[in-house]
Structure 1
Amino acid sequence: MTEALPRILVVDDSRMVRSSIIKHIRGRFEVREEGDGEAAWEALLVDPAVQLVLTDIGMPRLDGYGLLERIRSARVARISSLPVLIISGEEDDSARERAAALGANGFITKGSGSAELLSALESLLRLAQTERELEASRAALARQSAIDPVSGLVNESYLKWRAEQDLAYARRHGANLSVLVVEIDRFRELVERHGAQVAGLVGRKLSEILASRVRSEDSVAQLSPAQFVLLAHGSELAASCAFALRLQQALEKLVLSYRGERIGITVTIGVANSAVDGLASVSELIGVAVGRAENGRAAGGNRVFADRGEVSEVSLASARRELTSIDAVLRQLQRGDTEAVAARLPAVIAALAPLLDLIESRLGCDIPLSRLKQIDKEAGVAGVNGGAVHPMP
């Protein structure tokens, strides 16, 4: 059985140029040809056999730069990792630098001989094959290890396994499991402006920040270049929202520098909670958090969204004054976590106020109700003015 030839997508608005290229490489490669970047993009979406893209720069509808940007920012891994060779009549350094910044693997001028063209194509295909084999080895290693060797975060398989365990525990013990979906705002614009390499560095920086801010019992995984998921075991919704808001505000102040240009980073975070949302599976819980992150992006990004819409300092202060789960407080006391309960005493007092009123009216125990209510009132004012919040009790 004859082995299939590697398929190359040749993109140029000149039929003569395409014919010339095909003539040079006939017999060594199978060729699919398109006349502009838009048609080439559509071909890549439906043709998984393409192993390399050879494209001109100046074309109608979508030029070579635009095609390259789309390829590198594609959510489909087989497309985003394709080797791309630019072939153009433009020989100035600025064209080469721009192509390289956008993620081109090579640049060759029109009119180059067959030997040079074939050498460039074969070299890129060998490199791509080696990278695929390395990725396969890395994936196999990742399946055996909980930690992704690139990001340093847990891998997706472990995250799903751990999430199911945490959710089952939460149901058995009446505890909480919160899911935070963290998405880098305007990630595609970041790729288009600075290139896939810089966007990847931004993602790795966010990985480091997330890994350094979570508790040992929490899990963080990267689901895509722009999307991360955090599982917060035992964290109530209000505490998770407080953590998400602080994370969003901290990243808003972070500025990276690349080649003298300052790059700001913002994130949008969607928060879901097993006790509040009452969903049957972890996939559903993550899906709800993703939907809330989408709502945040639609509102302009750089926001935190939960079950009641956008999360703010004011809404958090209000939530802290709402009914506190006395069962949860008692469980904390049974575990010996008195400091965490002490930090929430005003909210506990507010939750118990109706019961204390009833006890005092029936039994006359001289409970200092006025003083307790004053403590609750003072705590509410402190919360609005930036009082401390303990995100992950």
Structure 2
Amino acid sequence: MDNKKKPLLLFVDDSKVMRLAADKMLGREFRVDVAEDGAAAWSMIEKNPDYSVVFSDLAMPEMDGYALLGKIRNNPDEGIAKLPVIIVTGAENDDEARSRALSLGGTDFISKPFNSTDLLARARAHANYQEERKALARQAMMDPLTGLGNQRYLKHRLGQELALSARQQTPLSVVQLEIHQFNQFFLQLGKRRADMVMMKLAQLLKSVVRKEDSLARTKVDQFTVLLPSADIHGARRFVERAIKVCEKLSFQHRGRPQRLPVTVAVHSPGSSNDRSPDAIQKVLSDYMARAADAGAGTVVGDDDEVSAAGTAPVMGVEQALALIQAGKQRVVINALPDLKRQLMPLLKLMQQASSGQETA
């Protein structure tokens, strides 16, 4: 079997003899990583999502098997939390130790000294189960039309990226793109042609995301992209690329070429914001509502002076003129509803004054 296709296992034991024995017994069918204590093992698990099974001793320095098992089972990442953990017990481990490991979520037990038959049997059974579970999870997180992740996948990945961003103190941005007035677009084209356009749009967006980015179809008319290590300015550059590819996607309606109408929301949650997936989605939904009100082609984001709650500050006419002179027309366009509300009383007063002069 190709070594890259072999399931990956982690064997944790403070005994070098045991680590070497496990590697030798399992190495023909599995890729085997080893760690000498729970702390080293936990660091490896956090960095590698590909482990199929973890074998762990109980009595170890730094972090023992109980603590490692607790960290695995209590992790918010479902992929880590559901890892099969086989406890390797020695003569010093009594029934009470086994019961404690079982209560913490131990999947199975194997006793020292182990032989290759028992070790391989446990590894095969749990690795196969884990692969089947992962396959079902992938299906449950996939959009059947585009082959991209769905809303469930996006929420799962967002939780992972938020945790990584907090741990490494790096920025993270989220971009949502929606088809403007999708119901009208759907009625114009019909289901078959609308589906073809959505599949083509998915392909075009895949062409502009980086390897480390996550792209999902989160609603029937919406795509969401996670941009790890990108601040709001980096997210804006991505939006420019995404809009360019959207402009390439045209379709015929009543004999005339039509461009795909889209609106965009951009958010880069800072350390002071509520960084839960639900809170971030609320901000994006508020931004998207403003973008939809402003019309196709509108982009609303953090740097458009929109608060985290999605409410816009009042923009004065002088401020609007200054922004236009500074080349920030988009900010003014997004604030037009507020400017209109401010100007309406003045326009009415001017009309009244004009009518009074004509009467005089």
For Structure 1 versus Structure 2, the TM-score category normalised by the shorter chain is 0.3 to 0.5
Taking structure 1 as the reference length, the TM-score comes to 0.41
Taking structure 2 as the reference length, the TM-score comes to 0.44
